[in-house]
Amino acid sequence: MPPRPRQTASLSAILTTTSDATLLRLPPGGVAWHKSETHIVFKGPEGQPVLSPLTAYGYVMADDALTRHQTYHIHGAVGVDLDDGAAFIKHSSITQSLVATIPPEPVELAGKAMISSIGKVQKVAFDNVNEDGEWQLTVQAEHEIFNPEDRKALHFPITYCFGYFSPGLSEMGDIEINTLMWFVGTVDSKDLVSNQLIVQVLEYGIVGS
């Protein structure tokens, strides 16, 4: 029997650093965790850019640590600590690329970050608030990640809004609590009360139960 896939959420985003990189701790080798502050650009209710803090943890050599005020494309596992709302991404030198030394306008990046994930369904809701009277599905799925700074495992939910990509009512019955699903979508915003990332689903599927 194949192993159960990890409930990981991976983020791909263009991020501008807002701090110098700091060394978390020095391991025996030359590669170590470096912490940099960045921001991710969400999309507001009117489509306006909304900047939100995102800590980047890079497991890299010192020469590959992120440089302050430069803009990178970074891909890696993402997590959110629901206690304080702190969001972070983990990456390495092979999943980061310098794209600009002058930061782009936030409006060009709003809501463009992508998530690819596998999660366990915790909540399922659907309503017909669509202006065309169609049913829309919303799923809350749980993910897991290890925080390299606090050295603890985190379990956190992400809210997935299907919108016009909602399945038909006959297919919604396959999506149940504890179902394992995969998602691909854009990170639109973050709920200020629950601290959950809110994703607009573009593709999805059922992995198992």
Question: Are 64 and 145 within one domain?
Answer: no
CA–CA gap between residue 196 and residue 176 (Å, rounded): 20
- Cβ 143 vs Cβ 8: under 8 Å: yes
Q: Who has greater pLDDT, 88 or 1?
A: 88
137-164 pLDDT per residue, tens: 899 999 999 999 999 999 999 999 998 8
- Band of residue 199 on the pLDDT scale cut at 50, 70, 90: very high
89 with 165, same domain: the answer is no
Residue 165 · residue 201 · CB < 8 Å: yes
Residues 29 and 98 in one domain: yes
Q: Is pLDDT at 28 greater than 90 in this prediction?
A: no
Tell me how many domains the chain contains. 2
Which domain CATH number covers 141?
Answer: 2.40.50.140
- Cα–Cα distance for residue pair 202/188, rounded to 1 Å: 12
172 membership: H or E segment, kind and range: helix 169-172
Residues 182 and 168 in one domain: yes
Query: Helix, strand, coil proportions of the chain in percent (round to 5)?
Result: 10, 55, 35
Rounded average pLDDT over 36-62: 94
Q: What percent of the chain has pLDDT over 70?
A: 92
Whether residue 90 is found in the same domain as residue 172: no
Q: Does residue 18 surpass a pLDDT of 70?
A: yes
My answer on whether 91 and 131 are in the same domain is: no
Assess whether pLDDT exceeds 90 at residue 132: no
| Whether residue 195 sits in one domain with residue 122 | yes
Q: For residue 60, is it within any domain?
A: yes
Q: What mean pLDDT, rounded, does the chain reach?
A: 90
Q: Which of 108, 124, 141 is the last residue of a domain?
A: 108
d(CA 127, CA 120): 21
Domain assignment present for 1: no
pLDDT at 22 over 60: yes
Position 90, amino acid: K
Confidence check: pLDDT of 116 > 90: yes
User: Among residues 63, 92, 108, which one ends one of the domains?
Assistant: 108
Residue 6 per-residue DSSP state: P
Residues 119 and 187 in one domain: yes
Tokens of 51: 């900047």
Cβ-in-10-Å burial (0-12, 13-18, 19+) of 132 comes to exposed
- For residue 130, the model assigns a pLDDT of 52
- 149 and 199 in a single domain? The answer is yes
Query: Within a domain: residue 3?
Result: no
- With b meaning 16 or more CB within 10 Å and e meaning fewer, what string describes 62-79? eeebbeeeebbebbbbbb
Domain that residue 71 falls in? 9-108
Q: Is the pLDDT of residue 46 over 90?
A: no
